[in-house]
Each structure stands twice: as C-alpha cells, then as structure tokens.
Chains A and B, each alone.
Chain A
Amino acid sequence: MKLLQERVKDRPAGENLIIRTAVRLMIPFIQLYGLYVIVHGHYSPGGGFQGGVVLGASFILLALAYDLRTSLRFMSERVNAVLGNVGVLIYTGTGLLCALLGGLFLDYSALDRILPLGPVEWRSLGIFVVEVGVGIAVMSIMTSLFWDLGSGGEMDEGL
C-alpha cells in the first residue's frame, strides 16, 4: 500500500489530458443514462439497483480520471452520507405510509387514499417510488465504497 501511495504522489500532473477531457465529456451522458435506467425500469431491463450502480460509476470514473479530491468537490462526503440514509428512508417510509393508511406494510394499493388513481395504478407507482429510493441508496453506497477502499479510509489521496 505504501508503494501505491508513493507512485500516485510521484505521478506528474496533466499527463493524461486526453483521458480527462474524454471523461469530462462522458460523465453527463453516463448520469443521464443512469437516470433513464432507474425511471424506465417498468418497461425495459433496469431498475433501482442497476441505475444506482451506473450513477455511482460516474463518480468513480471522475475519481479515477482526476483524483479523489476532485470527485469530493462534485459530491461532498456529507451529502453522500445524507443521500444514503434518504434512499433507505424512502423505501421504509413508503412501506410505513402504507401501514399508516390502513393497508399492510409495503402494500402500495393502500396509497389510493391519498390520491384516488385506483389501487392497481398505485401499485405501479409505489414500485417506482421504491426503485428511486433504492437507486439513491445504491449510488451513494457505491461511491462511498470506492472512496474508502481506494484511499484506505483517509479520503485525501487515493487512486
């Protein structure tokens, strides 16, 4: 590990201009594709887990092409931790809301009492809400896993 850190420190800056420019152009499209995979999970292969991993990969790519500090500037550690909690809370909160409205836990058709769209349509919408929660949580955890493993927990240098 010592060796790797020294090698990273000795690397001259600006040697990989092509990679950096290409990554900077690609990242918005990767994030757009991740959002598409999450919200289009009802009609095509996809869903919360897959889209979350694609979104997390965009931040990992940023950290790989630049360095860890740059990716921390775009997605601060505090925001990342909050997003991870929010994702899990969206899921469990949806389940709890269903129980509070008189249905069973995670029985989305009970949400019909908020806005009468029909119980079947609400089951479809409930899956969508839950998938968004899963996507947010997975994105944040993937990014944080890479930050911690790539820098050995110190969050300053790294790969």
Chain B
Amino acid sequence: MKAFAFLATLATGVALLYGTKDFAAWGDAASPASSHVSPVYIERAVEQTHVPNLVTAILGDYRGYDTMFETVVIYCAGLAVVCVLRRQKS
C-alpha cells in the first residue's frame, strides 16, 4: 500500500515536472498570466476606485461577489464547527 502511494506520488510529480517545461520563466513580465486581464486592472483600478492598494480594490470592488461568498464560506465553517462539536450539558 505504501509502495503504491509512493509510486502514485512519484508519477504525479514527474508529470508536473514535465508540465513546467512550457511555463513562462520566473519574473517574466510578458507571461500569459500577466498579459491578458491584469494590465487592465492595474491601469484602471486607481482611476475607477481611488484606492491606491490594487489588491484591496480588486478584492472589494471588481471581485465583490467572490469576497462576499468568501465571507459566507467562513461563516458557514464557524457554524459547522458549532453544529458538529456542541453538546448539551447533562
């Protein structure tokens, strides 16, 4: 069982290492992740929201739905822990 788990891990690792062959180099400003959506955010966020911290601007405004359900997720986690653990005092 342990050997099977080790082999599975090794296979996954080799596949992922092979996958890094096509990745953009570290710190490349022209990488695909930095060249499609994010320049629009960087160039327009301050002008549209007057918030110098771009992370806060995107988190609170452009991705407002994401953050709202994020809050709901952590609220549900707190609720779930109470429901799972709380016992009536006998």
Contacts and interface: CB of A to CB of B under 8 A. Distances in A.
Chains A and B touch each other in the complex, with CB atoms below 8 Å apart: yes
A149 B80 CA distance: 12
A153 B50 contact: no
A81 to B, nearest CB: 9
Contacts of A88: 71-72, 75
Interface residues of B, number: 30
A144 B75 CA distance: 10
A68 interface: no
B86 A127 contact: no
B36 interface: no
Interface size class of A (residues with CB under 8 A): 35 or more
A43 B46 CA distance: 12
A138 B74 contact: yes
Nearest to A92: B68
A133 B71 contact: yes
B67 interface: yes
14 contacts: A42-B53, A47-B56, A85-B75, A106-B68, A120-B47, A120-B48, A124-B50, A124-B51, A127-B56, A137-B71, A137-B75, A138-B74, A140-B78, A153-B84
Interface of B: 47-53, 55-57, 59-61, 64-65, 67-68, 71-72, 74-75, 77-78, 81-82, 84-87, 89
Report, nearest first, the 7 A-B pairs whose CB atoms are least far apart. A153-B85, A127-B60, A141-B78, A106-B64, A124-B50, A123-B49, A153-B86
